[in-house]
């Protein structure tokens, strides 16, 4: 059985001026989270982590994600699919290729194509509210600003998907989704990574205390 209150109250094992407490890394934090998750919730977390590996993001993966029993997983990867396709369409335009070249859907077979929509969305990805924002960011010329802009959109989407979730698997999945962004920025730009660390620390502490946390 998962001990969500303990997990959330213990997060994160991070400080604003140091990458990870005690020299930990992303896998160490995930390992500590899993120690307090039940088998079912661990499997859900593992599926999310699988989706962070680019080589796994094929048609079959998205088909499985869009029909996953966990709502956060379905909606997160529906968004991820739309974001991926927006990037591909942008690249196609730059290269003068047909717009739909290399576009993925969440359809893996005729069987999944015939299934009813999930939560009112289509397997192709459904409504993409952030499309205009994403296109605007992709048109930017500074690579770092573009990456940061896209991650800001992902961060805000994660917030939207986890609204009113405080001590449950959705809260944990949202935290890990943001930590994944932070971890990537620590490798790309340490200052940006530390700023995101600080933001994540404030959000988690504020959630646990039930008030907006103010760093001293």
| First CA to last CA distance, the chain | 35
In sequence order, what are the residues at sequence separation of 6 or more whose Cβ sits closer than 8 angstroms to the Cβ of residue 211? none
Residue 87, Cβ neighbours under 10 Å: how many? 13
Residue 1: per-residue pLDDT? 79
Residue 176: per-residue pLDDT? 94
Residue 127: per-residue pLDDT? 78
Token pair of 194, please? 């530390």
Residue 16: per-residue pLDDT? 41
Confidence (pTM): 0.83
Within the chain, what is the greatest distance between any pair of CA atoms? Answer: 57
Residue 83, judged by CB atoms within 10 A of its CB (0-12, 13-18, 19+), counts as buried
Q: How far is CA 68 from CA 74, 118, 156, in A?
A: 6, 10, 22
d(CA 64, CA 107): 9
∠ Cα 206 178 158 (to 5°): 85
Report how far Cα 137 is from the mean position of its chain's Cα atoms: 18
Residue 196: per-residue pLDDT? 87
DSSP SS3 for 91: helix
Where in the chain are the domains? 4-209
∠ Cα 56 36 38 (to 5°): 65
Per-residue pLDDT tens digits of the chain, which is 216 residues long: 788 888 877 775 544 444 566 667 889 889 989 999 999 999 999 999 999 999 999 999 999 999 999 999 999 999 999 999 999 999 999 999 998 999 998 876 544 444 434 433 444 556 799 999 999 999 999 988 999 999 999 999 999 999 999 889 999 999 999 989 988 888 888 788 878 878 887 787 766 565 343 443
Q: Are 46 and 16 in contact (CB under 8 A)?
A: no
């Amino acid at each position: 059985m998962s001990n969500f209150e303990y997990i959330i109250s213990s997060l994160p094992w991070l400080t604003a001026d140091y990458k990870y407490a005690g020299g930990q890394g992303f896998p160490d934090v995930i390992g500590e989270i899993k120690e307090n998750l039940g088998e079912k919730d661990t499997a859900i977390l593992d599926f999310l982590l699988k989706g962070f590996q680019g080589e796994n993001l094929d048609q079959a993966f998205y088909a499985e994600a869009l029909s996953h029993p966990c709502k956060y997983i379905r909606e997160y990867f529906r968004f991820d699919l739309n974001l991926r396709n927006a990037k591909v369409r942008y690249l196609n335009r730059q290269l003068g290729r047909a717009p739909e070249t290399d576009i993925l859907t969440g359809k893996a077979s005729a069987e999944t194509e015939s299934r009813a929509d999930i939560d009112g969305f289509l397997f192709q990805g459904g409504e993409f509210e952030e499309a205009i924002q994403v296109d605007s960011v992709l048109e930017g010329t500074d690579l770092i600003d573009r990456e940061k802009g896209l991650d800001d959109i992902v961060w805000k989407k994660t917030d939207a998907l986890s609204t009113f979730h405080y001590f449950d698997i959705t809260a944990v999945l949202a935290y890990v989704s943001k930590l994944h962004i932070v971890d990537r920025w620590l490798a790309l730009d340490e200052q940006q990574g530390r700023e995101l660390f600080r933001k994540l620390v404030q959000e988690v502490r504020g959630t646990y205390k039930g008030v907006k946390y103010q760093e001293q």
